[in-house]
Structure 1
Amino acid sequence: MLTAHSVDQVRHAEAALMARLPDGELMQRAVSGLTAECVRLLGRVYGARVVVVAGSGDNGGDALYAAARLARRGAKVEAVLLDEARAHAGALAAVRAAGGRVSAAGEWRYSGADLVLDGVVGIGGRGGLRPDAAAAFGQIQAAENSFIVAVDLPSGIDADTGEVAGPAVHADVTVTFGTYKPGLLISPGAEHVGDLCFVDIGLAPYLEGGGDPVLEALEAADVEALLPTASAESNKYRRGVVGLAAGSPRYPGAAVLATGAALRSGAGAVRFVGEREVSDGVLARYPEVLIGQGRVQAWVVGPGIGPDGADRVAEALAAEVPVLVDADGLAALAALKPQDRDRPTLLTPHSGEASRLLGEPWSAERIEASRLAAVRELADRFGCTVLLKGSTTLVADPGSPTVRVNRTGTPALATAGSGDVLSGLAGGLLASGLAARDAASVGAYLHGEAARDVQRRHPGRQLIAGDLVEALTAAPAAPVAPATTETSAAPAPSGNPATAGTPTPAPRRPR
């Protein structure tokens, strides 16, 4: 399980670790990992042009120390200082001693580089880039072939939430230290990160007593462990029967897509309940489906039922089984009070549906900008597990301090019918016996992996929802986040659960 911690948790852990280390040792561990990643990216350091834009404090110090090490290996280094009087004194001296050039940001003009280090502000930063930093990175990001490496996180994004409240750096690679930060994994901040490299500095043991992580993300092994498996004693009822109240004459395709995904979820059977013309279409496509009322272990209600489906939602919520409510079904929730149920309930809104559920001041735009706060508000207000779909999918339980984030997927999932596939898949996992949080998280993981699988096999082809259903026949649990690497700068492996299973791509030279 990958985990991410808050700024306060990181600060407390760093203080505890630094109390046991020689002065400056923790920074040098971070610098070692950062330098190693820069060397990997450059391929050849001697003669390479490196620019570091440095603010005050330790983040600027990390960047400057790394630049000094590169300069000692023959790189041509220029340090651009936002405030020389507040720059990290030891790191700045190291740059000068290594032959690096130092410039003031207000007088500086970008003339190209093989690699640019963003050391403007670290995890304590709030708000967007200040004017001098924004002007410097405006020049850099406007230039062709500039390659930016962010130190710990891209400057201008909120480390705790991923919110972006002004100009922010768009990195090609982000090198983060000690633990992942929530803002690296949640949009809109996640869209500024680029490839993500983790540097182990030995912080994990000091995070363990500091409270639950803010975020966690399933990895391949976690999904494999959670997926239900058939045994010799299994039958369709033991494996779970999922009921689908989906589709309508106006939206018959939603029923077909949700059914196809449910059939491939691992559930023992799918029971479809709907208008005759819709059920006929489902049965023609999937003769395995049971038609009409009967025994189920979970319900999925809402995909494609149209605006007049409140009775179908009420009937599902009255059942003594877990229920997933999606799409048109969400419109009926306010009057039905799902928080009064004593069985698991899973809601799967996108930002527009979430906005209608929450009302003012939660516009869809605010939800997209503040996804972590929004998913927590939804879960607490409705007393249900909530899967908030969108640029990064989040899963929250009411009152839980830890939210799950899904790291699979692709922007191509923003296509008609994709949500119907997710509903059928997660509903089938509910019927198989998974808790609502696990059904949502595993469903989102497999849904995203299916999309990536389609794009790998058919590059350049427009993804449609039906492709996802077919891709779900493939074995799940391909490695997640192929753009993530891990480097250890600690003296011995720390066992940080945040780093387990992250693959390392081959070295490459910046574009």
Structure 2
Amino acid sequence: MRRAHTVEQVRTAEAALMAKLPEGTLMQRAATGLAVAISNFIGFTYGARVVLLIGSGDNGGDALYAGTHLARRGAKVSAVLLSDKYDVEGLAALQAAGGRVGTVDAVETADVVVDGIVGIGGRPGLKAEALAAVRVAEEHQVPIIAVDMPSGVDVDTGETPAEHVKAALTVTFGTHKICHLIDPAAAACGPVHLVDIGLDLPPAPVESLQDPDIRALYPTPTGESDKYSRGVLGLMAGSTQYPGAAVIATSGALAGPIGMLRYVGPDAVAEAVRAQHPEVVAGEGRVQAWAIGSGLGDELDTDKIRELLDADEPVLLDADGLKALDDSGDHTNVLITPHAGELARLLGVERHRVETERLKHAREAAERFDVTVLLKGSTTVIAAPDGQVRVNTNAGAWLATAGAGDVLAGLTGAFLAGGLNPIDAAAVGAYLHAAAANLASNGGPITAMQVAANVAEATRQVLLEE
């Protein structure tokens, strides 16, 4: 599991550790890890042209000491000082190792630029001199390695309200930060390399599940299982206007852990569903969870949906089903799966605000409506009403295709019926949905039904991997 902590949590943990260690030990641990990462990124050290962009924060000190390690091994290291409050001892160490103070012109011919401009406590945005140096690197296509995070992003929210570095690699220390997992800042980080420096950290406010976590949560059947004990999902999806949504959502649901699916909808749509999936049972009956909303269109029965929201069984609301949600009552057993536009309508804000402030608005909706929110997008943000946040980061861009959300609704609903709570169901469903899309795509375009068809293989790979 990747755990992302806040700036305050990191600073508290660093202060506690520094009190136990000789002065400078923590920075040397960070600098050594950073130097190794830089060498690995370039592919060589001797003769490498490395330019350090140095600001006033601790990240500038880390960069200077990393540059010292590289200079001792034959790299040509120069430091561009963007503040008069740089780490004096770090610069002296760099110069003693053969490094030098340089100008922005050195960026043009560098093999790599190291972003040590702003520390994790800095405000979003870049000052003019720093921005000019970054622009030179971009114009000459020189890759930038960010120290801890790309300077200019908001570390604790993942927002990018101002100019910022776009890194080819980010090297962070002790733990991931929230900006590493949540877009749009996550996109600016590039791949993130974590250096362990020995921090003792509290529980993280944001987590990202990995294969072992999915394997531990998956409701795998036993020899005593039957179709009812594995879970029965009720699916209310599709309409005469959008019959395909029912077929696609059913395909997603049947690829999950359930033993049976009940389809509730127009007879003509039920026939289309059973033509594709003859094992589906049409009509209402006892279920362990509901998935409601995909493709309901004008046939939305708001009163019926609200009746189900007030019942004991967990409910997943997607697409048109979201129109039945209000902020009254206890909805802690409800999971909603909006995209940015749908969440914007629920909250009464403009779509671009949701897209640029994803964590903030997912949390706001979870609290206001007392539901778990799965906000779809380049990174999936899952926020529970108790404050827990999960992020799914393994989706590829080809997953942005018509019907993919219907697959996700059916699949995630199946995990609710299989006994997972809303935040776990959302995290497992989103992870396997993305993994299936990656299998189906193999770098090219895909359809929603291809995603559904690959869920079983994606699941098998996760469950069997040890």
State the TM-score bracket (shorter-chain normalisation). over 0.9
Q: Which amino acid aligns with 1:412?
A: W
Q: Which amino acid aligns with 1:102?
A: V
Match of 1:161 in 2: 157
Equivalent position SS for 1:346: strand
Within-5 A mapping of 1:195-274: 195-203=191-199, 205=200, 207-208=201-202, 212-274=203-265
Distance between the aligned counterparts of 1:191 and 1:343, measured in 2?
A: 31
Match of 1:385 in 2: 372
- In the alignment, does 2:357 pair up with 1:370? yes
Distance between the aligned counterparts of 2:370 and 2:330, measured in 1?
A: 9
Distance between the aligned counterparts of 2:191 and 2:164, measured in 1?
A: 16
Within-5 A mapping of 1:334-413: 334=326, 337=327, 339-341=328-330, 344-359=333-348, 362-400=349-387, 402-413=388-399
| CA offsets 1:187-246 (integer angstroms, 9 cap, x no match) | 00000011110000000x2x13xxx31201111111111111112221111111101000
Match of 1:99 in 2: 98
| CA offsets 1:304-360 (integer angstroms, 9 cap, x no match) | 0014402442343244311100100112213xx4x524661111111100011011x
| CA offsets 1:250-297 (integer angstroms, 9 cap, x no match) | 111110111011111110111101111111111100101001111111
Is the alpha carbon distance of 1:142 and 1:47 closer, same or farther for their aligned partners in structure 2, counting shifts above 3 Å?
Answer: same
Is the alpha carbon distance of 1:342 and 1:455 closer, same or farther for their aligned partners in structure 2, counting shifts above 3 Å?
Answer: closer
Match of 2:314 in 1: 322
Q: Retained in 1: the 8 A contact 2:57–2:86? A: yes
Match of 1:123 in 2: 120
Q: Retained in 2: the 8 A contact 1:446–1:477? A: no
Is the alpha carbon distance of 1:71 and 1:253 closer, same or farther for their aligned partners in structure 2, counting shifts above 3 Å?
Answer: same
Distance between the aligned counterparts of 2:305 and 2:330, measured in 1?
A: 13
Q: Which amino acid aligns with 2:222?
A: S
Scaled by the length of structure 1, the TM-score of the pair is: 0.88
Scaled by the length of structure 2, the TM-score of the pair is: 0.96
Structure with more relative contact order (C-alpha pairs < 8 Å, separation 6 or more): 1
User: C-alpha displacement at 1:111, in angstroms?
Assistant: 2.1
Q: Structure 1 residue aligned with 2:189, among 177, 186, 193? A: 193
Q: Retained in 1: the 8 A contact 2:331–2:371? A: no
Please provide the CA RMSD for this pair.
1.7
Is the alpha carbon distance of 1:320 and 1:111 closer, same or farther for their aligned partners in structure 2, counting shifts above 3 Å?
Answer: closer
Is the alpha carbon distance of 1:9 and 1:318 closer, same or farther for their aligned partners in structure 2, counting shifts above 3 Å?
Answer: closer
Match of 2:290 in 1: 299
Is the alpha carbon distance of 1:175 and 1:462 closer, same or farther for their aligned partners in structure 2, counting shifts above 3 Å?
Answer: same
Q: Retained in 1: the 8 A contact 2:107–2:113? A: no
Match of 1:55 in 2: 55
Equivalent position SS for 1:30: helix
Q: Retained in 1: the 8 A contact 2:332–2:385? A: no
| CA offsets 1:91-136 (integer angstroms, 9 cap, x no match) | 111222222231355xx46322111111101211112111111111
Q: Retained in 2: the 8 A contact 1:221–1:477? A: no
Give unmatched runs, 5+ long, in structure 2. none
- Give the ranges of 4+ consecutive aligned residues of structure 1 lying more than 6 Å apart after TM superposition: none
| CA offsets 1:364-400 (integer angstroms, 9 cap, x no match) | 1111111111111000000111111112111111132
Match of 1:468 in 2: 451
Equivalent position SS for 1:56: coil
User: C-alpha displacement at 1:22, in angstroms?
Assistant: 0.6
Give unmatched runs, 5+ long, in structure 1. 480-500, 502-511
Match of 1:485 in 2: none
Match of 1:454 in 2: 440
Q: Which amino acid aligns with 2:102?
A: S
Match of 2:21 in 1: 21
Distance between the aligned counterparts of 2:7 and 2:14, measured in 1?
A: 10
Distance between the aligned counterparts of 2:333 and 2:427, measured in 1?
A: 15
Distance between the aligned counterparts of 2:321 and 2:195, measured in 1?
A: 44
What is the percent sequence identity of the aligned residues?
52
Distance between the aligned counterparts of 1:418 and 1:131, measured in 2?
A: 43
Distance between the aligned counterparts of 2:156 and 2:385, measured in 1?
A: 19
Within-5 A mapping of 1:482-493: none
Q: Which amino acid aligns with 1:326?
A: D
Equivalent position SS for 2:344: helix
Match of 1:492 in 2: none
Distance between the aligned counterparts of 1:246 and 1:444, measured in 2?
A: 19
Distance between the aligned counterparts of 1:43 and 1:76, measured in 2?
A: 15
Distance between the aligned counterparts of 2:225 and 2:358, measured in 1?
A: 40
Q: Which amino acid aligns with 2:30?
A: A
Match of 2:3 in 1: 3
Distance between the aligned counterparts of 1:385 and 1:261, measured in 2?
A: 20
Match of 2:405 in 1: 419
User: C-alpha displacement at 1:2, in angstroms?
Assistant: 1.8
Match of 1:177 in 2: 173
Q: Retained in 2: the 8 A contact 1:223–1:477? A: no
Q: Retained in 1: the 8 A contact 2:239–2:299? A: no
Within-5 A mapping of 1:64-79: 64-79=64-79
Match of 1:487 in 2: none
Q: Which is worse superposed, 3-12 or 111-120?
A: 111-120
Q: Structure 1 residue aligned with 2:325, among 318, 328, 333? A: 333
Equivalent position SS for 2:457: coil
| Count of aligned pairs | 463
Equivalent position SS for 1:86: coil
